Structures are given as structure tokens and as C-alpha cells.
Amino acid sequence: MLEFHYMFWADKLLENVKGPQVIEDAWTPSGIIHMGSLKGPVIHDVLARILKEKGQDVRFIYGFDDMDVIDGLPEELKKSHEQYMGVPICDAPSPDGKGSFGDYFGKKMKSVLDSLDVKPEIYKTSEVYRSGKFDESIKIVLDKADNIRKIYSDTYKKETPKEWFPFQVVCPVCGKLGTTKVTAWDGKEVSYSCVEDLVSWAKGCGNKGKISPFSGNGKMPWKVEWAAAWSLFGVTIEGSGKDHGSAGGSYDVAMRIVKEVFDKPQPLKFVYEFFLSNGKKMSASKGLGLTGEALLQVLDPNVVRFLMIHKDPSQAVEFNPYETQIIPKIYDDYQMSGENYWNRKEDDFARAFELSQIGKVERIREVKFSTLAQWVQMPNMEDVIKEVKAEEWVEYAKIWIEKYAPENERFLIKKEIPELTKDLSSVQKEYLSDIAKILDEKIDAEELQTKIYELSKRDNLTSKNAFRAIYMALLGKDHGPKAAWLIASLDSEFVKKRFAEV
């Protein structure tokens, strides 16, 4: 670990934080793990790392909010799980029949977090409710319902009805939570009704009655629950995405509730921006952006961490991987950050590199990702890749070429003579013949590059037209990777035959 005097955004945020800390983040395990869902846990993990560096006592907890209701479904589950709309996530069955709906998606998220070396204490909200740990908070919330109504009214500039209570029960008849309405609280039980048309996405059964609100029989609205979790766990730091963290938003409501209703300190607040795709907020359901799993197929986990933290989180990050150079660019930035770190530069990139590392900090590989992406498309390049110690990135390069790279980055050796070679001049064709004659010599790619350059000069060809002839003969394109490396990667007899035929 290098000692940094330069203040990275995360170091600045924690500059005046003293004493034991509890950092919290949470996620609702109800569907696709969007890449944007990883920003929060990685950022909070980095904050925990920095506090540990400073020798402070820190606890990092991460909630799976599986007591939330199912109010929407991924397309592939709409038929099988439509009947569970309005039911708590923890009470609906898993799509694979193992555990709950929340367990199914929670396991996926845990696997992704493990890949990123983000290992907080994970808790399930359903277990917090059912164990009775939230009972005291629920009583406070129901006793001080007037205070919460006032906070809502003040924040949203709209009167909150006196008959509204900050609690919903799980209907004991139909099992739905999203369709119930609490109408009274007597200090021990709540009166409720399961309303048929309370929401558009689920239908209530019409049942009415009284029930204890404790031990998992219901839940607080999430803004209230957020404050209750801060109070229960003693949370001192929690950030929020822009959608909840903007002025007058959900975060501010929870901040007032934790202070005015629970009489507990407010956590350190910070807000982080979204990832954008062509200027629009990413949405997996709308096909904008990648899932967390897809991101980890094309980016090394260290690079994913770097992507999440290398810019101040208050800045939105454009990340459209399709037909763009954004993937090679983030690898380039990561490699530059590694160089800065090892050269002891005190800047954002160097600090971001250090905080991105999983395990021991190792020197960065020198070959550029774009070069590696060319090499993986050539045969017989395994030894070259091993020599530069880039084997770990080979699969990422292959995935990029296969799924995301622009067409001009894809190089496929043509089995037949490309049609385009008819446009080559007689001088270009003679140049290819001259190259064929030197391929029996045992020379490496560096020497071959020098020789084919010298041949172009001798044949009075510009470098552009010389290399174009090579690419057109082998690839059917007027561009490609380094010509000598391309030729050297192929069977020399095949290349001689092709150049002679052209």
C-alpha cells in the first residue's frame, strides 16, 4: 500500500469521520441485477476499506429487502408468477423451486458481489421482521403516525390523509401485502382491509380484520423502514442513487424520520449518479445497458471495481458497450491508473487503481486490450500472449469481439480469395509476391514487419497501399491488425499460396 497525500473523492468524503462506523447499503432481490446495481455496494465497500486503512472500527452491512412486494416481473416469469403479484418477495416461490423468490435473485447478487470481493454482512429484511427485531420500531412508527404524516406533507407539499398509517399487513387470507390498508391502531393490534382495487397491478381479496403488526405480520413503507434500519443497526454512513437522494426525495424523508421519530443521529449522506446509455438512464427491462453478470463476462473484476469508482460518483458515466470503443477505453484507463500507482503519482487514477484491487496489488500487464482483441482473432498467438502475461484477459477480449466490438474490429481470415482483391493494382500484387518469397526465412514478427516495410519502399508503394494489399488478400478488408503479426500467426504455406493466387 502506498501512502497517498492526494485526496481522492472517497478520502475527502471520509476526511472528518471519526470513531466506530456502520456502513449500510441494500437492494431488492426481485429481478435482473443491472450493472448499475453494483455501483452502490462497490462504493460502500471502498469506504469501508478506507476506514479500515485508517485503523477505524467499521462494520459493512448489506440488506436484501425481500419483504418488499412483487409489483412487477421479468418477462420470462410473467406467466409462472403472475399469481404472486402483491405478495412479499420472501413468500413467493423461487423460479427454480429452491427457496423463495428473494433467495433466487439474492444468490445471484451474492455471487456477483463475491466476484468483486465485496463481502459485507448480508441480512434479509424478512428475517429482521420475523425475528421481532423491528417490533420496537413498528410500535414507535404507529404511535407517532401523526409525526410521519407531517413529514410526508412537509416534504411533498401535499396533505397526507389522517386515516393513512405508515404500515401494511400481510393479509392472512390471500397472503398479499401490496393490497392491504391499515385503518386503525389500538396500541396492540391494527385494523386492516385487503382492498380489491387499491393498486392496478394486484387484486385484493376483500378480507377485513384486526391483527398484531409484529413478528413479520406486516411491514413499514420503505422510506420509513429505511430510517428504522438506520436506527436499529446504528448506521452512520449510507449513500443513495440520484433517484432517491435528490433534494426533497426519499432520502430526505428517511433523514427526518430517523431524527424526529426515532430520535437517532442521521447518517452521513452522499448521492451517486447513474450509468447512462446514449444519454439515457440504463434500464435492463428496456434493453439499455448490461446486467451485472454480462459486465463480468467482458470486464475483469478489478476493472469493474475501477469503473464504479474512478470518477466522482456525483458524475454520470456514459457506458454504451455496443459498437463502441468504451470497453477497450476503460481497460486503457485502468492500465494507465496502474502505471500512475507504480510510478507513485498522487492522483485520482492511482488511488482508484489501489482501491480497485482484489487481493494483492500486482503490476499491470502492458499489452493494450485492443491489441489483445486483435491477437485472439489470429491463430498461433498463444506464446505471444503468454510472453506478455495477458492470458487472464483473453476470454474478456473474445467476448468483446463476439458481442460488442464494432464491425471494423472483427478480423476473419477469408477461406476464399476476397472479391476486393480485384481492385488491387499490379504493383500491389507484385508486392504480395515479393512478401511470399521471404516467408521461408525463419524470422520473427518484428523482423518481418521491418522487411515488409522495406519491400514497400523498394516497390514504390506507400505504407497505406502496401498494408491495404495484405489486409485485402487475407481479410477482405482495407484495414486490420499489425500486418507482420497477422502473417506470422498464419501457416506460411497458406499465406504464400494466397498471395501467389492474388
Q: What is the CA radius of gyration of the chain?
A: 30
Domain range annotation of the chain: 9-70+85-124+222-275, 277-408, 412-501
Reference 46, options 242, 227, 270, 231; nearest CA is: 270
Could you tell me the pLDDT band of residue 363, with boundaries at 50, 70 and 90? confident
Q: What is the pLDDT of residues 169-211, one digit of tens each?
A: 999 999 999 999 999 999 999 999 999 999 999 999 999 999 9
| 277-408 and 9-70+85-124+222-275 share a CATH fold | no
Is the distance from CB of 313 to CB of 9 less than 8 angstroms?
yes
In sequence order, the 6+-apart residues with CB closer than 8 A to the CB of 179 are 86, 171, 194, 195, 196, 198, 199, 202, 203, 204, 205
Complete DSSP assignment for 262-318: S--PPPEEEEEPPEEETTEE-BGGGTBS-BHHHHHHHS-HHHHHHHHHSS-TTS-EE
Tally Cβ neighbours within 10 Å of residue 502: 19
Q: What is the pLDDT of residues 305-321, one digit of tens each?
A: 999 999 999 898 889 99
Q: What share of the chain is helix, strand, coil (3-state, %, to 5)?
A: 50, 10, 40
Q: What is the pLDDT of residue 364?
A: 81
Could you tell me the pLDDT band of residue 28, with boundaries at 50, 70 and 90? very high
**CA torsion, ordered 453, 454, 459, 465, to nearest 10 deg:** 10
Q: For cell 499460396, what's the residue?
A: 497
**CA torsion, ordered 406, 412, 414, 420, to nearest 10 deg:** 30
Reference 148, options 266, 258, 268, 264; nearest CA is: 258
**CA dihedral (309, 311, 312, 318) positive or negative:** negative
Q: What is the pLDDT of residue 286?
A: 57
pLDDT, averaged across the chain: 93
**CA dihedral (151, 155, 161, 166) positive or negative:** negative
Average pLDDT rounded to a whole number, residues 410-425: 91
Could you tell me the pLDDT band of residue 7, with boundaries at 50, 70 and 90? confident
Q: Give the N- to C-terminal CA distance of the chain in Å, as an integer.
A: 57
Fold classification of 412-501 is Arc Repressor Mutant, subunit A (1.10.10)
CATH node for 277-408: 1.10.10
CATH node for 9-70+85-124+222-275: 3.40.50.620
Is the distance from CB of 371 to CB of 378 less than 8 angstroms?
no
CA distance 80 to 96: 11
Beta-strand relationship, 237-241 and 218-219: unpaired
Complete DSSP assignment for 99-122: SBHHHHHHHHHHHHHHHTT---EE
